[in-house]
Amino acid sequence: MKCWKPYWDAAIENNNIYNRAVFKDCFPSELNAKPCKVHAVGKLFEHEGVMKMKDSRNYQIIS
């Protein structure tokens, strides 16, 4: 989970929401190269059971 820490920490700072803005803050060049990575990271967190999809663009940390 260590490699996902920047996303996790940024999501916590973003009111427990992971989305495109969080990804852009962490890795702006990767967002420009492959915007689908935003959704892929969200799905990884969802499959780990630590987030749930709130709507088509946001993932909520499960508390």
Residue 5 predicted with pLDDT over 80: yes
Residue 16 predicted with pLDDT over 90: yes
Tell me which residue range forms the domain holding 39: 2-61
Which pLDDT score is estimated for 62? 95
Residue 22 predicted with pLDDT over 90: yes
Burial class (CB in 10 A: 0-12, 13-18, 19+), 6: middle
Neighbouring CB atoms inside 10 A of 57's CB total: 13
In the chain, the number of structural domains is 1
